[in-house]
Structure formats: structure tokens, C-alpha cells
Amino acid sequence: MIGIHHCKTRIAAFVVLILWCIAPRLCADSLPAVRVAVLQFGTVNWELDVIKHHGFDHKNGITLEIVPLSSKNAVNVALQGGAADVIVNDWIWVSRQRDNDRLYTSVPYSLAVGELIAHPDSGIENVTDLVGKKLGIAGGPVDKSWLTLRAYAFKTSNFDLTEDVTTQFAAPPLLNELIKRGELDAVLNFWHYTARLKAAGMHSVIDVKTMLSEFGIDQPVPLLGWVFHENWAAENDTAINGFLQASYRAKKTLLQSDAEWARLRPLLKVDDDHVAQTLRDAYRDGIPRQFGVTEQTEAAKVFELLAQQGGVELTGSSTVLNPSTFWNKFDLKPPDE
């Protein structure tokens, strides 16, 4: 009898152990999934990795599903075709979609902006020094940073960059290589590429935030946001709020923990410690602290400025920001609180 009792006890303990092991998985499987489409090697993956690694998705009542894709266009198509629930895009795109009755909306993701970087041998110290120089530009002719730089140059120095500068549009990694080889005098590139250039000894001439201040836009405006359809958000209120809470918990971790950046080091794909620290600091500077009426008013000013410069190719027929571009049902709190 003792042997039978002992056997039953061991079986019961084994069953409890199995249930203890699989219970979190069973709970996770019952949570609503939020599918986020991202560029396969983009910087958004840093934040998503933090969410998954620390289980911030499960702790906020969702299961994060990452959909890696190879191009920005594929990411947009995934959202529009229902293969993803959330993506990162700029709110200029969101406003234009809304004007065409596609009811996407957004919540701030990053304040990080483009920056004009010059080769140390170029002699470029300010925007007027660009005259007669070779300038590389990421993002194409209607890139927001390029349009802002054009407006800034015309307002402050009364010259047209499209006529007075030799421009070359190319992919961000290629631009970095060309300026390092001295084949370009300056580049206007995305934030994480400019961080690499500054770490390599190139110097900053001016960033987009400073350019915008010339037009009376003094509050930081996050050009990138988490983008989703408002109908989906209405039907999945718990899911979208859980995802956004997880996102900002990850941002807080990245803001406060150097150890987290050490863990993420393989995703940064850099060998140099100085480059890694520059990327870390630039990312932290881009974390939104707040977004209310004041910031939305500033965003409307940015939209009008870019509409003047980019025309229908950028903003369509609209010259004003659609009032529902930003989703106001999420309370964005400073990540350092």
C-alpha cells in the first residue's frame, strides 16, 4: 500500500509540474494576437525584441506576432491587405489615406529625424556652403527631410537647392559609403545612418528639428507613428491598448538600461563600441515624452510646410492635416515616470 501511495504521489507531482510548465503557454495562446509588420532588419525590431524578451506583450494582455518583410511598400501592403494590424509609418501618409476614406490613425513612435551630415574635408559648416557641392539624399525627391531642408535654405538664404546643388538620391547604406569615400560632400540621411557617420568622424551641419524652428515650430514632432485602422482599434480596444502599453514599457527599458543595449548588441550589427553608444543615445533622444494638443498643432504646421514643398505627390490634394490623423484614446506618459 505504501508503494502504491508513493507512486500516486509521484504521479500527482509530475502532473502538477507539467501543468506548471504549460500554463503560461496556454494563457499566452488565449491572449489576443497583435500582428506587427516591420522591415526585416529595421530599427523597429529593437523595440519589438525587448517586448518579446521581457514578456511585455503577455504582461499587457496580448501576444505580439512579428511579421518581417523586405520593403516599406510590402509593410504598407500588409496593413492595407489585412495581413498585419499595426505598422510604423509617418503621419503624412496617414493623413493622405484618411482623405481617401481609408481610416488609418496613428500614435507617436519616434521623434528621431533626419540630419545633414558633412565630410570633414568638404568645407561645409552651414547650409549656404552647400552651393556647388554634391549632396546625397535618402528617401527620394519627396523625402520629408529633403523638403524641409529646401524650405529652410530658401527662407534663410534665398537659394534653391534643386538648382544650386548637385543632388544624388540613393539608398541610405550607399550614401554612407559614398561620403566616407569622399564621393559626396554631404548627405541627408535617416537618423540611424547619421549616427553611424558621426561616430565615423563626419560632422553635423543641421538637423530637421533645428530647421523647423525657423518656421516657428519649436515643439518636437514625432514624424513616425504606430499606424493601424481605427475600425480595427474600435473592435480590439484591449489589444491595441495592450500593445501600446507594451511598446512604451519597452521604450522605458531602453531609456534606462544600458544592460539592455548590451543584450541587443547583435541586432545593432555594429562592431565598434562608439558606434553602438551613438546609436543608443540617438534612439533615446527620439523617444516621445508627451503628445497632446500643443504637439498636434505643431504637427499641423509641419504638414502645411511639407504640402507647400512636396505638393500633390506627397500630400495629395490636401493642404491641411486631417483632424483624425492621431488616435487620442491612448494616454502617452513620459517613459521616465
SS3 labels along the chain: CHHHHHHHHHHHHHHHHHHHHHHHHHHHHHCCEEEEEEECCCCHHHHHHHHHHHCHHHHCCCEEEEEEECCHHHHHHHHHCCCCCEEEEEHHHHHHHHHCCCCEEEEEEECCCCEEEECCCCCCCCHHHHCCCEEEECCCCCCHHHHHHHHHHHHHHCCCHHHHCEEEECCHHHHHHHHHCCCCCEEEECHHHHHHHHHCCCEEEEEHHHHHHCCCCCCCCCCEEEEEEHHHHHHCHHHHHHHHHHHHHHHHHHHHCHHHHHHHHHHHCCCCHHHHHHHHHHHHHCCCCCCCHHHHHHHHHHHHHHHHHHCHHHHCCCCCCCCCCECCCCCCCCCCC
Q: Which of 158, 190, 213 is the last residue of a domain?
A: 213
107 and 231 belong to one structural domain: yes
Q: Per the domain annotation, does 246 fall within a domain?
A: yes
Say how many domains are in the chain: 2
206 and 226 belong to one structural domain: no
Long-range contacts of 253-261 (CB under 8 A, 24+ apart): 253/50, 253/54, 254/46, 254/47, 254/50, 254/283, 254/284, 254/287, 255/284, 255/287, 255/335, 255/336, 256/336, 260/50
227 and 196 belong to one structural domain: no
Q: What is the pLDDT of residue 153?
A: 93
Q: What is the pLDDT of residue 41?
A: 85
Q: Per the domain annotation, does 269 fall within a domain?
A: yes
- Strand partners of residue 21: none
Q: What is the pLDDT of residue 26?
A: 47
Please give the model's pTM, rounded to 2 decimal places: 0.87
Alpha-carbon span 314 to 16, nearest angstrom: 60
> Phi and psi for 108 in degrees, rounded to 5?
-50, 135
- For cell 510548465, the residue is 21
Q: Which of 213, 242, 264 is the last residue of a domain?
A: 213
119 and 206 belong to one structural domain: yes
Task: Give the alpha-carbon dihedral of 225, 195, 153, 314, to 10 degrees.
Answer: -30
CB 237 within 8 A of CB 58: no
Owning domain of residue 102:
28-111+222-315
CB 191 within 8 A of CB 284: no
Q: Per the domain annotation, does 1 fall within a domain?
A: no
35 and 173 belong to one structural domain: no
Total Cβ atoms within 10 A of residue 252: 18
Q: What is the pLDDT of residue 27?
A: 52
Q: Which three cell numbers mark 323?
A: 483632424
CB 322 within 8 A of CB 99: yes
165 and 252 belong to one structural domain: no
Domain with residue 261: its CATH number is 3.40.190.10
Q: What is the pLDDT of residue 3?
A: 56
List, for the chain, all residue ranges whose pLDDT scores fall below the cut of 70. Answer: 1-29, 333-337
